[in-house]
Amino acid sequence: MIRNSFIFLDRVGKRKEQQIWEQGIHTWQDFLDSPNIVGISSRSKAYHCRQINQASHALYSLDSSFFSKALSLSEQWRLYRFFREEAIFLDIETSGVEKWDDVTVVGLFDGTDTKIMIRGINLDFHALSRELANYKIIVTFNGSSFDIPFIRKRYPGVIPDIPHVDVRHLCERAGLTGGLKEIEKTLGIKRSRIIERFYGGDPY
């Protein structure tokens, strides 16, 4: 999807991106090869071509951090398909949300293996920082509102400067609202009976 996207170009929003697609320009290469694009001056097109070449170089250099700046948070999901093999799914639990509360559990899943870090046992934020540095994109549910800001506030530098996909906002776009468990039920995803009894904020 990222190579079909133009929304990272200066002054190109969703409406103009749609207009570009409607002209049969569906990829970065199509844009570069098109002599003229309706709605874009020749001067702007030359500038956009330079932006696309920069983005292409970053993409094939696996520099995902380039896009964490180029794309708004709400559009960083467009990178997932390209970087899915280097994505890390992250979730945390905390002792509360007050300024004195702290992270109690960090869960990580890379698509194959799960790693759990528990406070007082194996939760080490230097180790977490090293682990997250191995990935190109972070995926969470509601992480843009809670998990990521919570960690960044208490442990600056642990979260790398890479794109972040918040599945909650993608679900809302698809008409799926509510908490994660409610959405899973709507989609027919079942959890074990033990896990079904727990909700965020439940004591251990």
Please report, for the chain, the start and end positions of each structural domain, with discontinuous segments joined by +: 2-61, 82-196
Q: How far apart are CA 15 and CA 18, in angstroms?
A: 5
What is the model's pLDDT at position 204? 41
What is the model's pLDDT at position 160? 97
* Average pLDDT by stretches of 10, the chain with 204 residues: 97 97 98 96 97 98 97 97 98 92 97 97 97 98 96 97 97 93 90 62 44
Q: How far apart are CA 71 and CA 9, in angstroms?
A: 9
For the sheet with 87-94, list strands across it.
Answer: 114-118, 103-109, 87-94, 137-140, 164-166
* 141 token code pair: 């549910």
The CA-atom distances, in angstroms, between 52 and each of 44, 82, 134 are 12, 16, 26
What is the model's pLDDT at position 195? 59
What is the model's pLDDT at position 194? 60
N residues, the chain: 204
What is the model's pLDDT at position 197? 58
* 61 token code pair: 């250099």
pTM: 0.90
CATH number 3.30.420.10 is the correct assignment for the domain at 82-196: yes
What is the model's pLDDT at position 202? 45
